[in-house]
């Protein structure tokens, strides 16, 4: 049996992602679960998606949907480019895709449309998703599908539970043995490690800002990280100038 490796937010940091995966020393039977937000921040949005498509053809990969991936898809399919998206890394993604052929764009649209909202391992009862969910009975009962890639209350709840030292988990968390998310950067100012609160692991280590891309072994909790992503893109702001 290979490892199950979960990968946090990438935000167009293709070169950093490659480094993190190289440091993890991938094996042919590993299962990679990507938590979403493949684009928006650095200049290699299309190149990052290209890399993921190629990787998915050689290694067992599960690709989940992030909110930035959904915003990118809206641009590619409907030319939607709201100002808030552009200010939070969307401009770099727009520039990247405006330089691509229609054939390439169509290929990437198909990839983005295939992204999954969540992944639940029925054997280990581990849940993987970009952001969270709100229904107390679990993800299968969620009324609002956008919560899978926009919610921040799950991580907020986990942190409160952890800080309170609660002996019992609230119902929303207790549905699962462990939950793995991204979406909310642990820090925007420095490289930090994947962090656990209650039974929730946050793997967003700030790749869009001054942090790194992180890869975590879900069983051993060993992890590997890239160097700060900004070092690969000198002169670029990433999302460090975002309001």
In this structure, which topology does domain 4-232 adopt according to CATH? Purple Acid Phosphatase; chain A, domain 2 (3.60.21)
Distance CA 84, CA 109 (A): 21
Instruction: Reduce the secondary structure of the chain to three states and give it as a string.
Output: CCCEEEECCCCCCHHHHHHHHHHHCCCCCCEEEECCCCCCCCCCHHHHHHHHHHHHCCCEEEEECCHHHHHHHHHHHHCCCCHHHHHHHHHHHHHHHHCCCHHHHHHHHHHHHHCECEEEECCCCEEEECCCCCCCCCHHHCCCCCHHHHCCHHHHHHHHHHHHCCCCCCHHHHCCCEEEECCCCCCCCCCCCCEEECCEEECCCCCCCCCCCEEEECCCCCEEECCCHHHHCCCCCCCCCCC
Long-range contacts for 80-87 (Cβ within 8 Å, ≥24 apart)?
Answer: 85/40, 87/242, 87/243
Instruction: Please give the model's pTM, rounded to 2 decimal places.
Output: 0.98
How many angstroms separate the Cα of 50 from the Cα of each of 45, 66, 109? 9, 17, 11
- Pull the structure tokens for residue 202: 């946050």
Q: How confident is the model over 125-140, as pLDDT tens digits?
A: 999 999 999 999 999 9
Residue ranges of domains in the chain:
4-232
- What phi, psi does 213 have (nearest 5°)? -85, 135
Q: What is the pLDDT along the chain (243 residues), one digit of tens a residue?
A: 899 999 999 999 999 999 999 999 999 999 999 999 999 999 999 999 999 999 999 999 999 999 999 999 999 999 999 999 999 999 999 999 999 999 999 999 999 999 999 999 999 999 999 999 999 999 999 999 999 999 999 999 999 999 999 989 999 999 999 999 999 999 999 999 999 999 999 999 999 999 999 999 999 999 999 999 999 999 999 999 887
pLDDT score, position 242: 80
Torsion angle in degrees (nearest 10) through CA of 17, 19, 21, 26: 150
Q: List, in order, residues 6 or more apart from 228 with CB less than 8 Å away.
A: 191, 210, 211, 212
pLDDT score, position 155: 98
pLDDT score, position 117: 98
- Pull the structure tokens for residue 224: 């590997």
pLDDT score, position 243: 77
Burial 70-82 (b: 16+ CB within 10 A, else e): bbbbbbbeeeeee
pLDDT score, position 137: 96
């Amino acid at each position: 049996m290979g490892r199950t490796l979960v990968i946090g937010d990438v935000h167009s940091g293709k070169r950093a992602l490659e480094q993190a995966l190289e440091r993890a020393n991938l094996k042919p039977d590993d299962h990679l679960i990507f938590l979403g937000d493949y684009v928006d921040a650095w200049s290699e949005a299309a190149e990052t998606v290209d890399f993921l498509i190629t990787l998915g053809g050689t290694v067992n990969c599960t690709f989940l949907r992030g909110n930035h991936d959904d915003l990118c898809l809206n641009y590619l399919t409907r030319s939607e480019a709201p100002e808030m998206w552009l200010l939070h890394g969307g401009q770099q993604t727009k520039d990247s895709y405006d330089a691509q052929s229609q054939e390439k764009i169509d290929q990437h649209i198909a990839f983005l449309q295939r992204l999954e909202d969540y992944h639940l391992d029925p054997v280990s009862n581990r849940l993987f998703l970009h952001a969270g969910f709100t229904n107390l009975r679990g993800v299968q009962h969620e009324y609002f599908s956008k919560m899978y890639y926009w919610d921040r209350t799950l991580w907020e709840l986990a942190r409160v539970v952890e800080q309170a030292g609660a002996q019992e988990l609230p119902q929303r968390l207790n549905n699962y043995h462990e939950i793995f998310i991204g979406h909310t950067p642990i820090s925007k100012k420095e490289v930090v490690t994947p962090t656990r609160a209650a039974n929730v692991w946050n793997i967003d280590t700030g790749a869009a800002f001054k942090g790194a891309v992180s890869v975590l072994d879900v069983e051993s909790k060993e992890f590997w990280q890239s160097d700060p992503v900004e070092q690969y893109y000198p002169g670029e702001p990433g999302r460090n100038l975002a309001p």
